[in-house]
Amino acid sequence: MRDTHVKELAELLQLERLEDNLFRGQSRDIGTRFVFGGQVLGQALSAAQQTVDPSREAHSLHAYFLRAGDIDAPIVYSVERARDGGSFSSRRVVAIQHGQPILNGAISFQVPERGLEHQSSMPEVPEPEDVEPMHRVPPDELARLPVKLQRWLGSDGPFEFRQVWPRDELHPAKRPPIQHIWFRLTAPVEESPDLHRALLAYASDFHLIGTSTLPHGISYLTPNLQMASLDHALWFHRPFKVDEWLLYSFDSPTAQGARGLARGQIFSRDGRLVASTAQEGLIRLRGE
């Protein structure tokens, strides 16, 4: 079953080419109300990668989420070849559904080259084998949640997550806006750097903006809470494999104006900083 979930996700990120710069992707219902933002990020990156010389690697992605995506309709990705220079290529991607843009993105690619190097140190945390898998919601509490959330919380997915500091999302306690989560695919995939980058773009949307809720004793399951990603930035630094353990370290420096800002650093198991993320999201308590 786990192999099936991973295969489905890999296929989801391999888009149908309609024209030279036009692609179509399908959606997977994972129990969220709308299309999962990470899916649109991964597919947008996949579309852009197909318009660039294979010798050039994506190093940064910046995107704005404009509208919620409809799970039951395909998404068309229009790629503009903004520039192909001697070392860098730039692409603009618009994800379109029902004739309207749901995401605007810009992605930059570079010919690999050597240069100065330094990085932040990986936090000192237990090894993934010493961290328990995330616990399922008890059946009696799961039954009281909306059907879509029951599917989200009660089924396996293509990724395995292990929280260094577990949190009860149904009964969240207040704590500092910092968390560390080990994650990996539940089955191996082909050795394609482009695929692994698209998979990481997909996974990078998990848990990120939720870090901004930690000091306030709320979670995405809080009944009167409205949460939505507004933008997303992702930088690729060094080679990695998403079917091997990666540590996602989050912090949220601020929340204000019904918005929260969260940042992330993704490390390989041997301590290499392989990617960085940042996201601002809507965090609105409807009763206030």
- Would 124 be classed as within a structural domain? no
Average pLDDT of the segment spanning 144-169: 77
- At 268, list the tokens: 């390989």
Range of the domain at 17: 2-112+133-285
What's the mean pLDDT when you consider all of the chain?
93
Is residue 70 part of the annotated active site? The answer reads no
74 occurs within a structural domain:
yes
Mean pLDDT for 268-281 is 98
Question: Which two structure tokens, joined as six digits, stand for 160?
Answer: 């395995």
Active site residue 49: no
Catalytic residue, chosen from 179, 268, 276, 279, is 279
Residue 127 lies in a domain: no
Q: How far apart are CA 231 and CA 104, in angstroms?
A: 9
Q: How many structural domains is the chain composed of?
A: 1
Torsion of CA 153, 190, 193, 127, to 10 degrees: 50
Is residue 20 classed as helix, strand or coil in its secondary structure?
A: coil
Task: Mark whether 150 is an active-site residue.
Answer: no
Residue at 26 is within a domain: yes
Q: Looking at the domain assignment, is residue 247 inside a domain?
A: yes
122 in a structural domain: no
Over the stretch 222-261, which tens digit does the pLDDT of each residue have? 888 999 999 999 999 999 999 999 999 999 999 999 999 9
Q: Residue 100 sits in a domain of what CATH number?
A: 2.40.160.210
pLDDT at 288 exceeding the cut of 60: no
130: left (phi over 0), alpha (psi -120 to 50) or beta: alpha
Catalytic residue among 39, 97, 205, 243: 205
Out of 43, 229, 252, 265, which one is annotated catalytic?
A: 229
- 181 close to 163: Cβ distance less than 8 angstroms: yes
* pLDDT (average), residues 134-146: 68
In this model, does residue 153 exceed pLDDT 90? no
Stronger pLDDT, 142 or 4, i.e. the higher one: 4
